[in-house]
Amino acid sequence: MTSDFTYDELRRIEEISQNASRPERALMLDGWSVGLSPSKAKRSRCVNAFYPSVRPFEKNLRDAVALYKRADLPCIFRLTPFVNDPALDERLAVLGAESFDRTVVQAMKLTSRLNEGRADEKAGVDVVIQFCSSPSEIGLALQMLRGDSDDEIAALLLRWNALPLALASFTAVDQRSGEPLAHVLTIREGDAVGVFDVVTAAAHRGRGLASILLRRALADAQSSGAHCAYLQVVESNPAKRVYERMGFRTVYHYWYREVQHE
């Protein structure tokens, strides 16, 4: 754990990230929060063992597998430092559930330093930053940048429309063509703001667009009362270094294990 955040603060960040990720399709199963969203993000469709269980592990596992089979989704567990059962990871490993997608959660306290260096000469003068809070327009920009399927975008919109939280989207758009070049989404709860869907079109990477958008998004959140920010990034992703240059620091890790349907 980092000295900037207490254990309780990090546990709250984990709860807030779950609120932002899967409000519309989740069931409680004897202390396990079972996410059943069909969206692209695994954190929206996995098991988080937040609370103590009273039934045997084997029974809970059978019921969880049955739920995912019925939903036509893989049965995935998310292992974090806040899992209530310290033996869960080993139990899943013994069953042959391989671990994958080791991910870091990074966080930072928001300070006035965010306002420094917001200009980036490499971005060029042909880019304008557009702000949006409409889920449908955010989904369209992401689909153009990422190539998500219609079903994946529909699942995103279902999730976002169910959120009682503030969405703020920042998109770098080519002034001449109107083409979206890069995108950052923030979701705010209380004094914490989460960073999601950081995407840059392949042809425009290396221009500093994501950094510009992220600084703008964090400054916007700070001006409206946010005191800390968090994000999640796969450990091997080079973008982790970009976030660290901005002031984010790794505060904990998580990973996934998939249990095969019988």
pLDDT, position 124: 56
Please report whether residue 157 resides in a domain.
yes
81 and 134 fall within a common domain: no
pLDDT attached to residue 41: 84
Give 125-130 contacts, CB < 8 A, sequence gap 24+.
Answer: 126/174, 126/175, 126/176, 127/172, 127/173, 127/174, 127/175, 127/181, 127/209, 128/172, 128/173, 128/175, 129/170, 129/171, 129/172, 129/173, 129/212, 129/213, 129/216, 130/170, 130/171, 130/173
Is residue 213 within 8 Å of residue 172, measured between CB atoms? Answer: yes
Mean pLDDT of 24-34: 88
pLDDT value, residue 112: 63
Is 45 part of any domain? yes
Residue 178 lies in a domain: yes
Residue length of the chain: 262
**Alpha-carbon gap, residue 83 to 2, rounded angstroms:** 18
Answer whether residue 233 is part of any domain: no
Instruction: Give, to the nearest 10 degrees, the angle between helix 135-146 and helix 150-162.
Output: 150
Q: What is the pLDDT of residues 165-213, one digit of tens each?
A: 999 999 999 988 888 999 999 999 999 999 999 999 999 988 889 999 9
124 and 222 belong to one structural domain: yes
Whole-number pLDDT of residue 119: 40
Report which residue type is found at 2: T
Question: Are 15 and 75 members of one domain?
Answer: yes
Interstrand relation of 192-200 and 228-234 (parallel, antiparallel or unpaired): parallel
Asked if residue 51 belongs to a domain, the reply is yes
Is there a domain that residue 231 lies in?
no
Q: What is the pLDDT of residues 215-235, one digit of tens each?
A: 999 999 999 999 999 999 999
Q: What is the pLDDT of residue 5?
A: 93
Q: What is the pLDDT of residue 87?
A: 95
Q: How confident is the model at residue 162 (pLDDT cuts 50, 70, 90)?
A: confident
Mean pLDDT of the chain: 89
Question: What domain range includes position 168?
Answer: 111-226
User: Quick one: what percent of the chain has pLDDT higher than 90?
Assistant: 69
The CA–CA distances, whole Å, from 236 to 102, 233, 240, 241 equal 8, 8, 8, 10
What is the CATH classification number for the domain harbouring 191?
3.40.630.30
pLDDT recorded at residue 76: 97
What per-residue confidence (pLDDT) applies to 255?
97
Residue among 68, 32, 26, 76 at smallest CA distance from 51: 32
Q: Is residue 239, in this structure, part of any structural domain at all?
A: no
| Pair (94, 128) in one structural domain | no
> Rounded to two decimals, what is the model's pTM?
0.88
The verdict on 86 and 143 lying in the same domain is no
Model confidence over 77-131: pLDDT tens digits? 999 999 999 999 999 999 999 999 999 999 999 986 665 444 444 555 588 999 9
